[in-house]
């Protein structure tokens, strides 16, 4: 009979694990905007000053740069340095 209370505790612990993942989803959505823009720039193989300004504003909108945004910026810079993306005026 002591097994029944254990079974009741385990599903609750499982629910607690799911909740933090749900809380993190909104930040993933914001990060996806930066990722989507970097992907578009890499596909287009060019970046204009206006696009750069838009990306800059998007990244710094909340006043901080998180790890995902930093990775996307590095991807963009790597593509520019390797010649995959050309800077246009």
Residue-by-residue pLDDT tens, the chain, 89 positions = 545 454 444 444 444 444 444 333 444 555 488 999 999 999 999 999 999 999 999 988 888 888 999 999 999 999 999 999 999 98
Q: Cα–Cα distance between 48 and 27 in angstroms, integer?
A: 27
Question: Could you identify the residue written with the tokens 């385990």?
Answer: 10
pTM value is: 0.62
Instruction: Output 52-61 pairs: Cβ under 8 A, ≥24 positions apart.
Output: 58/33, 58/34, 59/34
The secondary structure of residue 64, as a DSSP letter, is -
- Do strands 46-48 and 86-88 pair parallel, antiparallel, or not at all (unpaired)? parallel
């Amino acid at each position: 009979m002591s097994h029944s209370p254990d079974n009741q505790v385990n599903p609750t612990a499982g629910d607690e694990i799911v909740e933090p993942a749900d809380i993190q989803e909104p930040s993933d959505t914001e990060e996806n905007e930066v990722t989507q823009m970097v992907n578009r720039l890499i596909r287009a193989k060019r970046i204009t000053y206006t696009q750069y300004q838009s990306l800059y504003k998007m990244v710094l909108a909340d006043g901080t740069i998180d790890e995902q945004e930093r990775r996307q910026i590095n991807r963009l810079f790597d593509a520019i340095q390797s010649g995959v993306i050309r800077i246009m005026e």
